[in-house]
Structure 1
Amino acid sequence: MTSAESGMSKHDVEFGDWFYQQIADAFIVKRTDWVDSIAARLQAGRAAAARHEVILILLSDMTAFTAPGRFIYVTGRLVEYCPGEAALAFVIAHELAHHDLGHLRYFPRWFREVGANWITEIIFLVVHGVQHFFYSPERESAADRYALDLCTRVGYDPTDCLQLFDQVEARLLDLGDIAGVYGPQESDDELLPTAPLMTKLRIWAWQRTRGYLPVRDRRRALEVYLSHGGGQG
């Protein structure tokens, strides 16, 4: 039984409510009709106890994240940069996927007690760090595929969803993050059968430091997934 079917544990709800309060005390947060309507469309088949609320945080970072509990967070800058509704739906669906696929079970439940006396900015940064540590590139790729299937199932065009990566790529290049788009310089050599072990280890370590595959690789993986019949809802 997936978390989408069974709802959330009391402990996770309490943790999520606590984390939301930390965020709301430090940043400007709000709900919008547009984001709410997308979240409702993606969760139309869920029991009320299993539905998540999507919160908009007014930050300049272009990101989305979640934690145990009811809430998913999307920054205003990411919403601004999304090229259309399908792209934003994919972002939200990706965070829903982490819940539905059980990825949040890796989140340390003792974090609330440890972080109780920290300032919110530290809590925010540590949660991001914990996610990168526990969300491997493999889990992020699984969340991408799940999100594409979910978006297609509720009527979004999967090719429109993939337009998100155009904007993410442009943003990273503006920031000078070449590796975030293309990967480390050795990444092309990793696929060679003669690639040295140290090259493979450097790629492996880089991917886990970032948490994601490079943007170009993420998009290409989803295009291949679609070409093999994925994203059919």
Structure 2
Amino acid sequence: MPQSPQFELSEHDREFGEWFYQQIAKAFLFKRSEWVDSIAAQLQSDRAPDKRHEVIVIWLSDMTAFTAPGRYIYVTGRLMEYCPGEASLAFTIAHELAHHDLGHLRYFPRWFRGLAAHWITEIIFLVVHSVQHFFYSPERESAADRYALDLCIRAGWDPRDCLHLFDQLEDRLLDLGDIAGVYGPSESDDELLPNAPLMTKLRIWAWQRSRGYLPVRDRRRALEVYLDERDRGRASV
């Protein structure tokens, strides 16, 4: 189970988070949701009030969630609409909390705000998102998935219900024609062969880095294996 947050929020991170929040608020509509507030409180019930992150509902057409240094986590209204249940939304929020707790967000230098002072909000949003995408990796995302699942278990949700999120993600990507996002590149099965060529492995490695995530099917399967191992470990005690 995850312990207390491993990384304390620095003053720089706090200031960056407030600045980014103010920039985003200029261009996008925010809304408070009692449902989201309740889930966030349940996930963070063991944290002191000043250590908790605030979840903001942002009205974008994308079905996504994201975060940045500071105390805010952002969930789009479209994601809320399409989440198959409360456990799935809890897992989504917990995944963003995991990035904070695991120290995945410390990459914006102090001079960035000065550099971006005259940028329009949309450019700031795109740059912050692109920097995150560059630093995130399948390894970090997988670690955040596992940590999020543990947070949900500790908060009282059934972890198998959390995984229903991946059904929705899969349907969404297939609707968009993103078959590789669900199954991986066409040659990914070849990587499992003992004599797989080095170039095949390199191409798959590069594809995973370009996405930042494993394919949806692989993410879900990895968490199912994680839960199975966890259950076996508890049964052997």
What SS does the aligned partner of 2:47 have? coil
Contact 2:184 2:215 (8 Å CA) reproduced: yes
Structure 1 match to 2:43: 42
What SS does the aligned partner of 1:229 have? helix
Structure 2 match to 1:25: 26
Contact 1:61 1:77 (8 Å CA) reproduced: yes
Deviation at 1:72, TM superposition (A): 0.3
Q: Share of identical aligned residues, percent?
A: 79
Structure 2 match to 1:168: 169
How far apart, CA to CA, are the structure 2 residues paired with 1:12 and 1:84? 32
1:93-143 CA distances to partner (integer Å, 9 max, x unpaired)?
Answer: 000000001111234444322222211111111111111111110000000
Show structure 1 runs of 5+ residues with no match: none
TM-score by length of 2: 0.93
Moved over 3 A (4+): 106-110, 230-233
Letter in 2 for 1:132: H
Letter in 2 for 1:115: A
What SS does the aligned partner of 1:104 have? coil
Give the length in aligned residue pairs. 232
Contact 1:149 1:230 (8 Å CA) reproduced: no
Aligned ranges 1:109-128 → 2 under 5 Å:
109-128=110-129
RMSD between superposed Cα atoms in Å: 1.8
Compared with structure 1, are the counterparts of its residues 185 and 175 closer, same or farther at alpha carbon in structure 2 (3 Å cutoff)?
A: same
Contact 2:59 2:77 (8 Å CA) reproduced: yes
TM-score by length of 1: 0.95
How far apart, CA to CA, are the structure 2 residues paired with 1:12 and 1:51? 14
Contact 1:181 1:214 (8 Å CA) reproduced: yes
Letter in 2 for 1:206: W
How far apart, CA to CA, are the structure 1 residues paired with 2:109 and 2:136? 12
Structure 2 match to 1:204: 205
User: Greater CA deviation, 15-24 or 106-115?
Assistant: 106-115
Structure 1 match to 2:12: 11
1:40-71 CA distances to partner (integer Å, 9 max, x unpaired)?
Answer: 00000012221100000101101111000010
How far apart, CA to CA, are the structure 2 residues paired with 1:230 and 1:128? 36
Contact 1:152 1:232 (8 Å CA) reproduced: no
Contact 2:40 2:90 (8 Å CA) reproduced: yes
Compared with structure 1, are the counterparts of its residues 231 and 94 closer, same or farther at alpha carbon in structure 2 (3 Å cutoff)?
A: farther
Aligned ranges 1:32-181 → 2 under 5 Å:
32-181=33-182
Compared with structure 1, are the counterparts of its residues 201 and 60 closer, same or farther at alpha carbon in structure 2 (3 Å cutoff)?
A: same
How far apart, CA to CA, are the structure 2 residues paired with 1:36 and 1:123? 26
How far apart, CA to CA, are the structure 1 residues paired with 2:51 and 2:204? 37
Deviation at 1:6, TM superposition (A): 6.1
How far apart, CA to CA, are the structure 2 residues paired with 1:204 and 1:231? 31
1:134-158 CA distances to partner (integer Å, 9 max, x unpaired)?
Answer: 1110000000000000000110000
Deviation at 1:194, TM superposition (A): 0.9
Contact 1:3 1:50 (8 Å CA) reproduced: no
Structure 1 match to 2:191: 190
How far apart, CA to CA, are the structure 2 residues paired with 1:33 and 1:113? 35
